[in-house]
Amino acid sequence: MKWRVFVADDHAVVRRGIVLLIETQADMEVVGEAGDGETAWRQIRELLPDVAIVDISLPVLNGAQLTERVNDQCPTVKVLALSAYSDSVHMKALKRAGAKAYIHKRAAADELTSAIRDIANGTEVHQSIAFKDEAGQSQTSPSLNALLSPRDIEIIKMVVWGHTNKDIAGRMHLSIKTVEGYKAKIMEKLQLASRVELVRYALRHGWMEEV
């Protein structure tokens, strides 16, 4: 018997690497893959794999939303969350959505394959990839903040105060297109899906002063 695995990641190179790794395992097979959450949902619902590896920053339907759908409507499919970041906010969101474990993209190959086996078997996953007790997590993430430049933080402050892209572009002497690019990268870095989530993040970090 082989464990049937589905891979959802918007980075084609990363996704292909995961697929190739899984296909080298004698007890696993990849039954499908997708680069966005909506496509992944349609295929997972049809294929019903044993394990779905889900990147938390998927476009169209993000990883937490996809995980929640899978957990609610396809309870036999177990989700292994995958991310380039490791902040407690997103871990908690994924845990609430129903993911069984969380693994960093920098994890060793054998950690990923071991996690797949543990989740598929219903056994306890290794502590390095299990969700940690919320009491042991900090409410902010220095590693995430380190990803932000001073300009990123300035843009965040203006966004949460309701400034339009045109306003921000004028204040910072940038093109509107450049501002849009900054905002998209900020949301990707912080793994956020909406302005509401960005406001909450800014509030936690004391970035709510008007600019």
Sign of CA dihedral 107, 111, 116, 121: negative
pLDDT score for 142: 46
Fill in the DSSP letter of residue 136: G
pTM for this prediction:
0.62
Q: Is 124:130 a contact under the CB 8 Å cutoff?
A: yes
Best CA proximity match to 7, nearest among 113, 154, 138: 113
Contact partners, residue 151, CB within 8 Å, separation at least 6? 172, 182
pLDDT digits (tens, 9 = 90+) for 51-76: 999 998 888 888 889 999 999 999 99
Name the strand (E) or helix (H) holding 51. Answer: strand 51-55
Which residue did the predictor score with more confidence, 160 or 175? 175
* Residue that is written with structure tokens 């990147």 in the block: 55
Cβ atoms within 10 Å of 6's Cβ, excluding its own = 23
* Half-sphere CA count of 197, side-chain side, radius 13 A: 12
Q: Is 100 exposed, middle or buried (0-12, 13-18, 19+ CB in 10 A)?
A: buried
CATH of domain 142-204: 1.10.10.10
* Residue that is written with structure tokens 């759908």 in the block: 69
pLDDT at 112 over 80: yes
The mean pLDDT value for 100-104 works out to 84
The mean pLDDT value for 16-28 works out to 92
Q: Where in the chain is the domain with CATH 3.40.50.2300?
A: 3-136
Q: Is 158:147 a contact under the CB 8 Å cutoff?
A: no
The pLDDT confidence band at residue 93, using thresholds 50, 70 and 90, is: confident
pLDDT score for 138: 36
pLDDT digits (tens, 9 = 90+) for 114-169: 889 989 988 756 544 555 444 344 334 445 566 788 888 889 888 888 889 999 99
Q: Where in the chain is the domain with CATH 1.10.10.10?
A: 142-204
* 3-136: CATH topology: Rossmann fold (3.40.50)
Q: Is 19 helix (H, G, I), strand (E, B) or coil?
A: helix
Q: What is the mean pLDDT of the chain?
A: 83
Best CA proximity match to 191, nearest among 21, 40, 62: 62
Q: Is 193:199 a contact under the CB 8 Å cutoff?
A: no
Best CA proximity match to 95, nearest among 83, 84, 106: 83
pLDDT at 89 over 70: no
Please tell me the distance from the alpha carbon of residue 152 to that of residue 115, in angstroms, as a whole number: 35
Contact partners, residue 132, CB within 8 Å, separation at least 6? 88, 91
